[in-house]
Every structure is written in C-alpha cells, then in structure tokens.
Amino acid sequence: MNYLDKTAKLVLYCEGEFGRGKSKTAEGILRYSDNPIVAVIDSTAAGRSTMEMVGIESPVPIVSSLKECLSLTPDALVLGTAKSGGHLPEEWRSDIVAALEQGLDVVSGLHDFLVDDPVINKAARQNNRRLLDVRRPPESLPIASGLARDVKAFTLLTVGSDASIGKMTVTLELCKEAERQGHKAKFIATGQTGIMVAGGEGIAIDRVIGDFMAGACEQMVVDAARDHDMIFVEGQGALAHPGFSGVTLALLHGACPDAMILCHNASRIGIGDCADFPLQRLARTIEAYEMMASLVHPSKVIGIALNTSKVDDAEAKRQIQDCERETNLPCNDAVRYGCQNLVEAILAFKEGSLCKQA
C-alpha cells in the first residue's frame, strides 16, 4: 500500500469516544506509531490528558475540533475508533470532508471503505488528498495449503481468551523485545490498527473473504520467513467468540505457529465482557488452541500475557501469580511490567524445538 511516510504528522479522530474501551485504534497508534502525533480530537475530553483518558503517558493534547490543532500542521487524520461492525457513522462524514478540505489525507480502518462513500471520495479528489483504507485486502489471495508449516523461521502467534484483549499490543512488545535481544524479528499485522502501526503493511484478516483468510496469513508468514528468523503474528478474536472464531482459526491454520502466547484479562466476566458467555477456564482455553493447532501443525501455548489495565498494582501482581500457579506457565503484563520472562520462554522453546529438528 502506498501509505503515509514516517514523518507524516497525525491527528487521531475519536470524537465522543476517546477512552471508554472504544478507541483501540487511537490507543495503539499513540503507543506504537513511529509517526509524530499532534493531537487527539474528542470534544467530550478536550483539555484532559491521554494518561487520564486511556492510561498512556504522552504530551499529545486532546482538542475539541480539527480547527484547534491546524496550527500544528497535521498531514493526516486517522479515524481512531471503530463502531462494532466497522460501519461509517453518518456524523463523521462532515468532519472527514473538512479534514480533506484542510489538506489532510484520511486513514481509516473501517469495514466500510472511505473511497466507496461518494461524498468523501469527491472531496478527496477535489482536494487532491488520499483516502487510505487500511482494511482493504489485496485483490488476489491464495487458498491456504499449510505452506507455513515448512518455513525455517520460528513463528509465534498470540491467541486470546476473548477479543479486544490486547493481542496486538502483546505481539508488538514481544517482537520489540526479541529485536532488542538481537533477533531478526518481524511483526505481522493482521488487523487495522496493527497495519497502521506497521506503516501500512499487513492484511486485515477479518475483512478478507472466508475462503482466503488463512491463505492471506500463510502468504505473509511465508514472505516474512525469507529474511527473518522470528515471526510474531498478531492474533485476532478468540476461538470462543461466537462472532469472530472463524477468523481466529483461519489465522491459526494459516500461520502454523510453532508456539502461542495466550492473552487474557482476568477481570472480564465473559466473552465481550458479557455474562451470557462465561470465559472458559484457562486450561480449557489452552487445550482448545492446542487441539485446533494439532489438526494442521502442532503448537503449544508457552506463556500467558495478562491484561491487568483494569486493576491496581497489587491486584495485578496477584493476578499474575495466580495465573502462573494455575497454568504452570510464565505470565506477565507486557505493557505494565515488560515481557522479558515471556520472551525468555519463547527463546528457550525455540532452541528446544530447533535441537529436536537437528
């Protein structure tokens, strides 16, 4: 994709929805994007800090409107929230058009593509600006045939006990830590925010047509394996999520990971934080992933990444200890306490599996 270059200055559009569990994309970009970020737009949070709203330390101001941050000369407006289903809310259109008229490109991770909206498309053309729909998959994708089983690189997939639990974040942290330790590591983005963080590279698997989801993932792993020794694939959804489980399994069978890190939030009461779908015990969740993996390429869950963002430090540490005791696996909150122990476990497992191959 002909994406933004790394010096492009971003404004994150989160009108009415910054924080409150609805601005996953904006938060991911705040935390991980290489691009400079000049402001967050949310009139309901203007003047407050990113730390206060989403727990991320940053100097980025929250403003009421695009107008208020034009003096900071932004280059692109990034839609930083995604309604369930990924449709374009009517009320966003005028703000998007205004941004195009002010000379900004617009980046979107919605299921509905901006280029397909006649009003927005026209405004982009009139102002000679770009609409970057990062969720648009490539035109031609293969049907997976298990090719990722045979790559030389060690492949790790993050999986989850639920959706929206921090798999992208954990994957990025693991990859960074592996790079720090001298590995040629590659992050493979499989969702819209991951693609934005990865400079436009990756495929949003949940936007791919069913038959080609696993093939899209397989293709990315096979390509990345050519010049990397460790591949970290961002997981999606959860095997127990009634809406997204198909995407999750396609990723598992497309990527053929050698190992998995299970992402979990011990504070959730159920799938989608909904009591109607109680979370499985961790042992059963692990068993489900390992069994499904074994049907194509055996893999093991070798660590747990806990998301403790909802609890205080003492409770977080207790959750981590409980989880280690329950699963007998290394556990950590990668954002709060780092993920060195998880990467150590991954590297030890990698060495072990290479020895087995030799």
Region near a copy of itself per CB under 8 A, out of 42-50, 91-99, 116-124, 205-213: 205-213
DSSP E strands, 80-144: 105-108, 131-133
> What is the distance between the alpha carbons of residues 176 and 232, in angstroms, rounded to a whole number?
10
Residue among 199 and 246 whose Cβ is closer to a copy of itself: 246
Tokens of 95: 């703000």
* Count of Cβ atoms closer than 10 Å to residue 42 Cβ: 26
Rule CB under 8 A: say whether 211 interacts with a copy of itself: yes
Question: Which backbone phi and psi does 231 adopt, to 5 degrees?
Answer: -120, 125
Rule CB under 8 A: say whether 208 interacts with a copy of itself: yes
Rule CB under 8 A: say whether 240 interacts with a copy of itself: yes
Rule CB under 8 A: say whether 1 interacts with a copy of itself: no
Q: Give min distance, CB of 65 to a copy of itself, in A.
A: 31
Q: Give min distance, CB of 27 to a copy of itself, in A.
A: 20
Tell me if residue 122 falls in helix, strand or coil: helix
Tokens of 86: 């990924």
Q: Mask: binding to a copy of itself, 329-348, rule CB under 8 A, as x and -?
A: --------------------
Rule CB under 8 A: say whether 86 interacts with a copy of itself: yes
Q: Give min distance, CB of 268 to a copy of itself, in A.
A: 15
Rule CB under 8 A: say whether 144 interacts with a copy of itself: yes
- Which of 21, 138, 146, 298 touches a copy of itself (CB under 8 A)? 146
Q: Mask: binding to a copy of itself, 290-329, rule CB under 8 A, as x and -?
A: -xx--xx---------------------------------
Sheet containing 10-13: which strands, arranged edge to edge? 62-63, 37-41, 10-13, 76-79, 105-108, 131-133
Tell me if residue 21 falls in helix, strand or coil: coil
- State the Cα angle at 231 between 192 and 310, rounded to 5°: 55
Residue among 242 and 338 whose Cβ is closer to a copy of itself: 242
> What is the distance between the alpha carbons of residues 300 and 152, in angstroms, rounded to a whole number?
18
Instruction: Please answer whether residues 265 and 258 qualify as being in contact, where contact means their C-beta atoms are separated by less than 8 angstroms.
Output: no
Q: Using CB under 8 A, which residues numbered 270 to 289 contact a copy of itself? A: 272, 276-277, 280, 287-288
Region near a copy of itself per CB under 8 A, out of 49-57, 122-130, 234-242, 303-311: 234-242
- Which of 16, 36, 61, 142 touches a copy of itself (CB under 8 A)? 142
Rule CB under 8 A: say whether 253 interacts with a copy of itself: yes
How many residues lie near a copy of itself (CB under 8 A)?
A: 46
Burial class for 294, CB neighbours closer than 10 Å (0-12, 13-18, 19+): exposed
Cα four-point dihedral sign 14, 15, 18, 21: negative
> What is the distance between the alpha carbons of residues 160 and 143, in angstroms, rounded to a whole number?
24
By the criterion CB under 8 A, which residues form the site for a copy of itself?
84-86, 111, 142-146, 205-211, 213-215, 218, 239-251, 253-254, 256, 272, 276-277, 280, 287-288, 291-292, 295-296
